[in-house]
Amino acid sequence: MALALRLLLLGAVALQGGRSRLHSRRVLDMVVSEPGLELPWFSRVVYVDDQVTYVYTSGTKRAEPYTVWMAQNEGPEFWELMTWWGQRFQKWYNTSLNTLSQLYNQSEGFHIIQTKYGCDLREDNVIQGFYQDSYDGRDFLTFDKETMTWVAADIGAQITKRRWDAEVNDNQQWKRYVEGNCISWLRNALEFGKETLQRKVHPTARVSDRSSHDGLTTLSCKVSGFYPRDITVTWLRNGESRQQETYSEGILPSGDGTYQTCVTMEIDPKIKAHYSCHVEHESLLEPLSVSWEPHNNLIPVVAGVITAVVLMGVIIGVVVWKKKRPGKKGDGYAVAQAHDQGSSGSDVSAKGK
């Protein structure tokens, strides 16, 4: 492989940035041996953090901006350079597919290579690079930054590993690539898209509970509306973290440019303890804590008794009121009938006289 191509493929597994905010530039390459209508033969998608900045495919044969702020700020020279790299990799992957199919003694059919590489930049200016690839959904090679050597995932990858390990000069230039083009492109994108990429949105947290099996109770802490994506959510019992006892559904997009997550934990409600949901996010000056208040079982009973008493009082009042009401149609007719009979009797008596 040519030196220039190898420089973009070298890297190391990305490191977690602790509480310092991590910004990343990621290049995701995919090539398939049998393309379809919606699956191009080769595609490259470049991310800065969670935003797609540009896309190159074998169909368009050009690198095209995917955000307004990239289109408005990068000039023709940048897009020509990205197009050139895309076309070079497209040719290289074509050769790689043939090489790997022979290496694994495979016949013609559907095969896929996926590669992810790039650089990370933390707010404390620590820089890291990363690289990982796979063939037909299985790990193939990764790069060990400590030993400056490649790590093969299986016997088939050993051949490529030995060849690439021998190219010591190429591997040493990884540091210059990370501190040069990759970080430069990342910094530019962070400035161009700072209103999106560098914004901070506070999370909101809500706790709830539901009955579970064997008399247990499941506590849920839903945290939503936060950006950036990285967040720490834990349940505390009497102020101590219960991380090993919790389950998380992962961090998911909310659909409005922010993220959400939910963390649950099962407890025995008979054991008296104070439970709270603890949230740490870079938008918060101090951690957010939301306590869970257990339901008092007497409340629904007392509420039911009060409701029954009030209802009984209403019924009794209505009955008494109806008995005392003089304007009922039936009662008025009876009184009038009695009065008519009395008048008739008086008339008869008068005639008798």
Are 133 and 12 part of one and the same domain?
yes
Please name the residue that has the structure tokens 């030196």: 3
Are 34 and 104 part of one and the same domain?
yes
User: Looking at the domain assignment, is residue 297 inside a domain?
Assistant: no
User: Looking at the domain assignment, is residue 262 inside a domain?
Assistant: yes
Helices (H), 54-204: 68-73, 76-103, 155-165, 168-172, 174-177, 183-192, 194-197
CATH number for position 164:
3.30.500.10
User: Looking at the domain assignment, is residue 124 inside a domain?
Assistant: yes
Q: Is the peptide bond before 228 cis (omega within 30 degrees of 0)?
A: yes
Are 261 and 133 part of one and the same domain?
no
Are 172 and 49 part of one and the same domain?
yes
User: Looking at the domain assignment, is residue 42 inside a domain?
Assistant: yes
Are 264 and 135 part of one and the same domain?
no
Are 152 and 281 part of one and the same domain?
no
Tell me which of 266, 292, 318 is where a domain ends.
292
Task: Give the Cα separation of 224 and 255 in Å (integer).
Answer: 11
Task: Give the Cα separation of 256 and 249 in Å (integer).
Answer: 19
User: How many distinct structural domains can be found in the chain?
Assistant: 2
Note if the pTM is more than 0.75.
no
pLDDT single digits (tens) 68-92: 999 999 999 999 999 999 999 999 9
Are 7 and 43 part of one and the same domain?
yes
Q: What is the pLDDT of residue 207?
A: 96
Q: Is pLDDT at 344 greater than 70 in this prediction?
A: no
- What is the chain's length? 353
Given a contact cutoff of 8 angstroms between Cβ atoms, the answer to whether 20 and 118 are in contact is: no
Are 180 and 247 part of one and the same domain?
no
User: Looking at the domain assignment, is residue 24 inside a domain?
Assistant: yes
CATH number for position 261:
2.60.40.10
User: Looking at the domain assignment, is residue 349 inside a domain?
Assistant: no
Tell me which of 136, 168, 197 is where a domain ends.
197
Are 92 and 148 part of one and the same domain?
yes
User: Looking at the domain assignment, is residue 300 inside a domain?
Assistant: no
Tell me which of 292, 317, 333 is where a domain ends.
292
Q: Is pLDDT at 301 greater than 80 in this prediction?
A: no
User: Looking at the domain assignment, is residue 32 inside a domain?
Assistant: yes
- Phi-psi bin for 200: left (phi > 0), alpha (psi -120 to 50), beta? beta
pLDDT single digits (tens) 86-107: 999 999 998 888 888 888 888 7
Q: Which domain holds residue 61?
A: 3-197
Are 19 and 151 part of one and the same domain?
yes
Q: Is pLDDT at 184 greater than 60 in this prediction?
A: yes
Q: What is the pLDDT of residue 140?
A: 93
Are 193 and 246 part of one and the same domain?
no
Are 162 and 214 part of one and the same domain?
no
pLDDT single digits (tens) 22-32: 899 999 999 99
Please name the residue that has the structure tokens 């935003």: 51
Q: Is pLDDT at 2 greater than 80 in this prediction?
A: no
Tell which wins on pLDDT, 121 or 337: 121
Q: Is pLDDT at 346 greater than 60 in this prediction?
A: no
**CA triplet 9, 13, 158: central angle to 5 degrees?**
65
